Amino acid sequence: MTYIVKPKLRHPGIAINKLGFTHRDYEGTVSTLCAGCGHDSISFAIIQACFELNIAPHRVAKLSGIGCSSKTPDYLLGQSHGFNSVHGRMPSVVTGANLANKDLIYLGISGDGDSASIGLGQFVHSLRRGVNMCYITENNGVYGLTKGQFSATADKGSKSKYGGSNMDSPLDLVSMAMQVGATFVGRSFSGDKQQLVPLIMAAISHKGPAFIDVVSPCVAFNNHAGSTKAYEFVRLHNEAVNRLDIMEPRETITVEYAPGTTEDVELHDGSTLRLSKLDADYDPHDRIAAMTYLQNRAAAGELVTGLIYMDPDASDMHANLNTVDVPLNRLSAKELCPGSAGLESFNRSHR
């Protein structure tokens, strides 16, 4: 495989963020995925979200497993360290990385084969352990790199490109994430940038385990009639519960909303998440009610998207472990080694 080098030309009118970066500074290498792949739209949304949040790219660590989705960290944030680990095991690697340095932003990118099949255990346990990260699955219901086998999120009865039907029950990563302790859960669609970008921004700003399931059609193997992960199907059945906007700290609010239709949630980094309710009765802070709502709508054949659940007071694994404020990877022998004096008492107590 050859690498196509991106031209370094820059449009004179290109937007610059507060750190002086343009979009281009958040890009990676040229994608080698199929033209029209939903994953590329998600990569773009991540780039956009990091740009909007004024994140220094090198302060992000991007990790993935194996599969089409897991290749995408290479296509974004070229100034960030990346780690393409083993199939289904990104969550444990991100857990360890996060333990080593609590100061970086951790972006875990995975797919439905990676997270719902081979890596289901790690997916669940990293969330219940409270790893402070933004975990995104690019969910297309099939194995792309091995050419079209069903994954564990494929809906029962959905048709494969070559005619077979999936007879196994699907796993819903969103319901599962809420059940096991994710403190920020969203679902979106790769074709809905308006919804996806602020959702990723909010997830990155959230302190605690944040999970977003993004339905991302596979144009090569799962975009045909009869597939529930196809562009057309998702457009027809997408039911957004809210709309999200992220506002910078101290930004003047100019637009007036009818009372009761918006809610402002302050994020960890000081910015504000403004939720515009599309369903007046939906409360994304009530986990049990949200889970029930999700099940009811799923039974009706609808795909609930938007910010589904968020605990604004969440904490994370480091808080649970009571670790020091300094990243553990910066401690030296001075803090870590008890020296000969420590051994003296040890030896004495073993005689």
Partner 1 sequence: MSAIKAVNDFVIKFANVNGSGSASANEMFARSILRMGVPVASRNIFPSNIQGLPTWYEVRVSGKGWLGRRGGVDMMVAMNPQTWDKDIASIDANGYLFYDSSRQIPQSRFRSDINIIRMPLTEIANSTYNDPRQRQLFKNIIYVGALAQLLGLEIAVLEQLIGEQYKGKDALIAPNHKALRLGFDYAASQLNGLCGLKVERADAVGDRIFVNGNEAAALGCVYGGATVAAWYPITPSTSVAESFQKHCSKYRVDPVTKKNNFAIVQAEDEISAIGAVIGAGWNGARAFTATSGPGISLMQEFLGLAYFAEIPAVIIDVQRGGPSTGMPTRTQQADILVCAYASHGDTKHVLLFPEDPRELFEFTAAAFDLAERLQTPVFVLEDLDIGMNEWLCEPFTWTDGQTYDRGKVMSAEDLESGKTFGRYLDVDGDAIPWRTLPGTHPSRGAYFTRGTSRDRYAKYSEEGSVYQDNMQRLLRKLETAKSLVPAPVIQLAKENARHGVIYFGSSTPAMNEAMAALEGQGMHLDTMRLRAFPFCDAVSDFILAHDQVFLVEQNRDAQMRMLLVNECGIDPARIVSVLNYDGTPITARFITGAISERLTMKSKEAAE
Please report, as ranges, the residues that interact with partner 1 according to CB under 8 A: 1, 3, 56-59, 61, 63, 73-74, 78-86, 89, 91-101, 103-104, 121-122, 125, 129, 318, 321-325, 328-329, 331-333, 335-340, 342-343, 346-347, 350-351
Provide, rounded to whole angstroms, the least separation between the CB of residue 48 and partner 1: 20
- How far separated are the first and last CA of the chain, in Å rounded? 64
Q: Nearer Cβ to partner 1, position 250 or 334?
A: 334
Query: Least Å distance between CB 276 and partner 1?
Result: 35
Residue 66 or 152: the one with the smaller Cβ distance to partner 1 is 66
Which residues, at least 6 apart from 148, have a Cβ–Cβ distance to it below 8 Å?
Answer: 142, 160, 161, 162, 220, 221, 222
Exposed, middle or buried: residue 210 (CB in 10 Å: 0-12, 13-18, 19+)? buried
**Interhelix angle 287-299/173-180, nearest 10 degrees:** 160
Of 154, 191, 173, 200, the closest CA to residue 60 belongs to 200
**Residue 228 tokens, joined:** 């529930």
Q: CA 297, CA 316: separation in Å to the nearest integer?
A: 30
Question: Cα(199)–Cα(244) distance, rounded to whole angstroms?
Answer: 7
In the complex, minimum distance from the CB of residue 334 to partner 1, in angstroms, rounded to a whole number? 9
In the complex with partner 1, which residue's Cβ is closer, 76 or 267?
76
The encoded tokens of residue 66 equal: 């194996």
Q: How far is the CB of 250 from partner 1 (least distance, A)?
A: 26
Residue 235: count of CB within 10 angstroms of its CB: 11
Residue 299 or 336: which CB sits closer to partner 1?
A: 336
**Closest CB 120 distance from partner 1, rounded Å:** 11
Nearer to partner 1, 295 or 329 (CB): 329
Q: With residue 21 as reference, give the H or E element that holds it.
A: none
CB nearer to partner 1: give 127 or 234: 127
Q: State the nearest-atom distance from the C-beta of 180 to partner 1, in Å.
A: 11
H helix runs in 53-170, sequence order: 68-71, 90-100, 112, 120-128
Q: HSE on the CB side for 115, CA within 13 Å?
A: 35
As beta bridge partners, residue 309 has 185
- Residue 348 C-beta: closest distance to partner 1, Å: 9
Residue placing its CB nearer to partner 1 in the complex, 165 or 345: 345
